[in-house]
Structure 1
Amino acid sequence: MVPLLAIPAVLALENGRFFPGRIFGATGTSLGEVVFQTGMTGYQETLTDPSYRGQIVVQTATQIGNTGWNDEDGESSAIQVAGYVVRDPSRAVPHWRSVRPLEAELVRQGVVGLAGVDTRSLTRHLREHGVMRAGVFSGDALADPAGMTAAVLNGPAMTGAELASRVSTRRPYVYPAAGPRRFRVAVVDLGLKTGTLRMLAALGVESHVLPDATGADGLLATEPDGVLLSNGPGDPAAMDHVVALTRSVLERRLPLFGICFGNQILGRALGRDTYKMRYSHRGINVPVVDAADGRVAITSHNHGFAVRGEPGERFETPYGPAVVSHHCPNDGTVEGLRCLEVPAFSVQYHPEAAAGPHDASALFSAFVGSLRPGGRR
């Protein structure tokens, strides 16, 4: 093995493995949970997705960066990942929308990254051993290999992590409808992506975006026609306050739509357990089966936790019966829930398709179709 002192940068895993590379982005140290993302496109949306808070993202696509960075496609106001690992950064940025190279943006925002890594080997390692704590190290930290491993082992675990409050809006704001307003929706920001607001706006929805700590009174003060629980990072078991808010929405029979983290929150509000997955779903080509008709959609995913349940399962809740409406045929993971007596449903994937396929975009129309003009409670 090449001595670490001779290597410009390294990814250190909690099980003692080291993956060498070179600096890509800022120099320094960053700790987080290392996960792999299988999307061939959409790295800017990946980097700015708040659901990746606290995670070191490994891109399995061989080359990253050929479309550069622009100021329009971000899913939040900043890069959210804890660190970034790629194999081959593009040497040219020919795309007409690019305003700066990807690495320049990583440096500008202080994101510690690593390039030249054998990402195929790393991904196979994570598939075998599961995602785990890790650290990206460059600069002076390389002088102490044992210290790097110790730092990783002392780093925060994802199980039990409450991260939504770190990415949620600090104060409420309104995202207007594109054209005449048809409905008003309270959006609970648990790590919201801008694409969700754009999809709602296109359907005539005025979104009142609320901090994750908002209580029932604050939510009802917006006089919503419906409620949306957004995507977000961390462990849903650490979000009891949002689960309680969700139960208050269900009790009032307000139409509710949960996306990704919101699916896990709805699951817990309905009395289901959640669990940490071995290596998660992160990519834009994940198949999902609709239990109602057997149709398959190719969908965008970013989640490391899931709701316990079986494909097509019907179960009782305090709000009447509900069903596991969708599942992943690859591993049986619950991908959606639907209540049968209250107007509430959720999916584990990202129907706003930023980035990703548009197979599931009709879910926004289904949610808007459940809203009642002037029917606020």
Structure 2
Amino acid sequence: MDRKVFKNKIRNYFLERKKHKNLNYYYITDDNKTIDLRKRKDTYGLFQDLAMGTFVIFIFNFISLYYLLQYVFDTSSILNLIMLIGFIVTIVIAYGGILAGIVYKYTTTIYVLIPGLSAFIYFVFIEPFIGFAPIFIRLTSYLLITLSLYLILAFVFPVHVLRKLNSKTVLISSFLTISATILTQVISFYFLKYLRTENYFLTGNDAETVTGVSDTLRNIIVENTELIDIINYFIEREASNQLTSIISLVITTLTISYIIGGLVINRKIEKNRLKAKSLFRELLKNTFKVDYQILKQCSFYGGEEYENLILNNSSMLEVVMDNEPDLNNPRISRMKRLIAWYKRKSILYSILKELKQIRDSN
């Protein structure tokens, strides 16, 4: 890649980032903040191009460094460590922009899939080192990974996206609770059915051919079919308890994961709401002039609650309309408003919409 082109990409990316920070594309009368979201997605497209360009430059420099280190250290553990670090950095650089764009584009789906991604990271990179540890240590390690991913999610997304996502977290938890109750019963039923069809239970013939048991005990078991039924009953009960314990652990882990995600998102929303409260109070104290930029900050940090306060204040509304005259916000019917509300709140609709976008892009 030409250096001049690469520098321009870097300059454009950071320029766009600065514009987003200054809320240049954020408008109070843009109900769904579609302009801001579209511009942010375009910016992540720039980041993706920048990352791929950086990858090309990095790979050439890394190859040169590798041969130099191989000449100095020959083949050693130090060189292997450097190779491993270089490989990880290469992957992050090459695919960081793509991952950032995917995460930003498919918000709800990524939020739902984070516990699964945490499980992948844990079992591939962490479990081999702490597999011998008690279950609470392993569970804590997994939850720390989940917490880290949700913190990254909260850092990447602007607060108005998190507010929309937050309205769906309750639905996710409710859906998980209902599904867990039904799924546990269904899995237990088919698991026990599988045990019976595959002849995992003890029979009279098994008792006669089993080794390592005294003849007296074998004869007692063979001659008393009720004893065989009792043994099978405890085998079935133990298998069912083990399965239920595993399912309960998985469901509990998922529930805690989504609770962590909800707490992280709520914490950021609440911090921004307090910031909006402080800014709005300063606006009310200042009776001389209403600053449009501060109005946008109040709307951005505080959400719909503060947008309504702004639009219901005649002086503030006048400032907003003077600065946002070209936005087209047509009046829509109650039915369309209801459908739009459902689309914003429905976790199932959001996931299906994002999966359709993935399919269409392929």
Give the TM-score normalised by structure 1. 0.22
- Going by fraction, where is helix more abundant, 1 or 2? 2
The structure having more radius of gyration, on CA atoms, is 2
What TM-score do you get using the length of structure 2 for normalisation?
0.23
> Going by fraction, where is strand more abundant, 1 or 2?
1
